[in-house]
Amino acid sequence: MLEQLLGGNTKVIAQVSVHGAFLVIAAVCVALLISSFRAGHKEKSDKKEKALAVTEVVAALIRKDDKFMICQRPAGKDRGLLWEFVGGKVEPGETKQQALLRECQEELGVTLSVGDVFMDVVHEYPDIHVHLTLFHATIAGGEPQKKEHSDIQWITPGQIPDYDFCPADEEILRKISEVYHG
């Protein structure tokens, strides 16, 4: 009778009492629940680890006379239309300086002379946790073009309040104001 319920190709090795069948079903259910819990716990752990992973980011403090360059992020990106220093993520196998040279070539079409570190900042956005290193830099070749930004401006430290910057830049802007404004 059990073979008929399970289908024609299924062979019953031993018949089990109804009580025994319920115990087997209960054991399978418990095993599935434990497996599901472990999978969910691992997924939560992976998300937590991913959220805590720090992304290395570099940027350039490009100065000309008493002004420095800022770039406006495009409207369609995260933190769209906010202002920032040109730069981007460090790719695997790159030094920070190499990443900055690559990013400035891609985003502005210029080559840089990269100097010393101006400041390091760690900032946690809802979507990314960044370690931002800002380097002193000068343009060694080319004229800045808006390849990936909505706008490019040269501003004095006194003009900082006139622009809405990415939150990660706030500490940097305070230091620029202290060092170059006063």
Question: What digits encode the pLDDT tens for the residues 54-96?
Answer: 999 999 999 999 999 999 999 987 787 899 999 999 999 999 9
My answer on whether 115 and 85 are in the same domain is yes
My answer on whether 135 and 77 are in the same domain is yes
C-alpha to C-alpha distances, 170 to 122, 125, 151, nearest whole angstrom: 11, 13, 20
pLDDT of residue 80: 73
My answer on whether 119 and 140 are in the same domain is yes
Q: How confident is the model at residue 47 (pLDDT cuts 50, 70, 90)?
A: low
Who's near 136: CB < 8 A, 6+ residues apart? 61, 63, 114, 115, 116, 117, 118
Give the separation between CA 131 and CA 57, rounded to whole angstroms.
6
My answer on whether 155 and 176 are in the same domain is yes
Range of the domain at 153: 54-181
pLDDT of residue 23: 41
In this structure, of 36-50, 93-107, 116-130, the range with the lowest mean pLDDT score is 36-50
Residue 35 has pLDDT above 50, yes or no: yes
Residue 29 has pLDDT above 50, yes or no: no
Closest C-alpha among 150, 134, 128 to residue 80: 150
Token pair 């202002």: residue: 83
My answer on whether 66 and 21 are in the same domain is no
My answer on whether 73 and 140 are in the same domain is yes
105-131 per-position pLDDT tens digit: 999 999 999 999 999 999 999 889 999
Strands in the chain per DSSP E: 54-64, 67-72, 83-84, 87-89, 111-124, 129-141, 151-155
pLDDT of residue 103: 97
- Give me the chain's average pLDDT, please: 81
Comparing 40 with 58, the larger pLDDT belongs to 58
pLDDT of residue 8: 53
My answer on whether 94 and 166 are in the same domain is yes
